Structures are given as structure tokens and as C-alpha cells.
Amino acid sequence: MPDTNPITRLARTLHHRAAPGFSRALLAAARVLRLPVVAAGTRVDDLALEWTRALWQAELWRGNHWLGMPILQWPTDLLVLQELVMEQAPRVILETGTYRGGSAVFFASMLELAGVDGGRVISIDARHPASVRREIQEHRLGSRIQLIEGDAVAPETAAVARALVGDEPGVMVFLDSDHSYGHVRAELEIYHRFVPVGGYLCAFDTIMKDLWDLPLGEPRWQTDNPHRAVRDFLAAHPTFEVDARRNRLRVSFAPEGFLRRIA
């Protein structure tokens, strides 16, 4: 396609200044002429990363709710997680990082919609405040959620999780608690054993590697991040691979964080 940047820039200017009806006509003409929406040569991946950085810095991921519960996830990631639950129909979703219960209720609602009879969410956190525990228990999906209080990488916590999972083969794991390299690496080592062949181990906030230089970021995130833990885990466990399809929407807090067990 020829470089049409000047035309595109003119269309943008007119779009901002013209009446809404004329703007719609301009956009329709642009579609017919196949004019680029962004400057020629701009990579979609670059745009997606900059948008992800901007929305994270602006904290647009805060203040959102799922079925009445606060949830700190981005919509594109929730869409992909929904796909996984519908495709996998897991009997158990094991989550680390309950926080205020939004993601646990999200997973419980997906199991309900998927028609997984007896499907459960096991959610682990170092501490469950009484108010959060009460809100989860009183939620209409609370009967599907079991809480474990304790450090996710402590042997006694993992033992409780194993006892609750029992011999259930259909397990999906979602890691979103302490995001330091060491903690995530330990979680991956402990909880990958719960995942069956064809199943998924999801490690979130791998995006931290790209946020360290923002005002709300921390320089240590350059190396102390979940993404590095995932890469080292994969190097030691060739039975897992990154499922790139799950990052096709590009704007995500979990780049290369959707891991599928292949053997």
C-alpha cells in the first residue's frame, strides 16, 4: 500500500473539526479507500504496548467490578480467560491472589455459565480480611468458592490445596499473588503439577517487565518480575509452552503468560 500519511493526517484533522455527520462520511470514505488509521510503518504491537503502559499508569484497571465484586483485571484478559473456561470446562480453577474476591467470583460465574456441575474455585491468599471472606460467602456464587489462607508457596498451603483438589484431573491454575520473581518462580514449580496435559497454567502481570520506567513502576521490575520467572520455568519444563493465540488481542497484563501443557 502506498504511503498515504498526509491524506490520513488531513482526514484526522477534518474529523476533529467537522460536524459529526461529515466526520462519519470521512471515515466511511477512508474505509473504502483503505487508508491507514495510523502512520505507515507503525507496528500494531508497539501501539498496543504503549496503550497498555498508558492505561496501567492511569490506573484504569482500578475501580471496576464483576457481579458486584471489585476486580483488578483488564477486559481483554477477562475475555481470554472466559474462552479458556468455556473450552476447557475445568472442574477446579486454582487461583493464587484472592485480594477482594473479584477474580474468584469471575471464575465461579464462568463455571456457572459453562454448566460445569460441581465446578469449584479454590482461591489462596496470605490473608483474607473478614469483610472479603463474608462478601464471598454471601455472594450468590459463593458456594462454588473455597478459600485457603496462607502463603501460596508454603508447603502447608500447597498441601491444603492438594487435599481440596483431590484426584480431580480437570484443573486450571491462575497465578496472581506476590509478583516478585522468586515467588512466581516457586508458584510455577509447585502448581504446574496440578495441570493436566492440554490444560493451562496462567501467570499474570508478566507485563511488569515493560512498566518499570513509568512513574508508578519500580526500577527493580526490570529483572524482578513474573515474565522472567515464566521464561526460566519454561526452560526447565519443556512440557509447557506459551500459547501465543491467547495474546492475540495484544493489550494484556499477561504477555506470554498463558502456558499450555503439551506433554
Helix/strand/coil (H/E/C) assignment for every residue in 72-101: CCCHHHHHHHHHHHHHHCCCEEEEECCCCC
All cell numbers assigned to 190: 509447585
Strand partners of residue 146: 122
Beta-sheet strands, E only, within 176-245? 200-203, 240-242
Indicate if 21 and 145 belong to the same structural domain. no
Up-side HSE of residue 255: CA atoms within 13 Å toward CB? 15
51-65 confidence digits (pLDDT tens): 999 999 999 999 999
Residue 72 carries which side chain, given as an amino acid letter? L
- Which pLDDT score, from 0 to 100, does residue 48 have? 96
165-210 confidence digits (pLDDT tens): 999 999 999 999 999 999 999 999 999 999 999 999 999 999 999 9
Of 149, 145, 152, whose CA–CA distance to 96 is shortest?
Answer: 152
Indicate if 126 and 224 belong to the same structural domain. yes
CA distance 209 to 226: 8
Q: How much is the average pLDDT of 155-159?
A: 98
pTM of the predicted protein model: 0.85
In a domain? residue 50: no
Q: What's the CA angle centered on 194, arms 127 and 150, to 5 degrees?
A: 15
Indicate if 38 and 78 belong to the same structural domain. no
The string of DSSP codes covering 85-150 is: HHHH--SEEEEE--TTSHHHHHHHHHHHHTT-TT-EEEEEES---HHHHHHHHHSTTGGGEEEEES
Indicate if 163 and 224 belong to the same structural domain. yes
pLDDT above 70 covers a percentage of the chain that reads 87
User: How confident is the prediction for the chain on average, in pLDDT?
Assistant: 91
9-47 confidence digits (pLDDT tens): 565 565 456 556 665 675 577 678 776 655 556 688 999
Indicate if 116 and 176 belong to the same structural domain. yes
User: Domain of 166?
Assistant: 65-261
Indicate if 82 and 37 belong to the same structural domain. no
In a domain? residue 120: yes
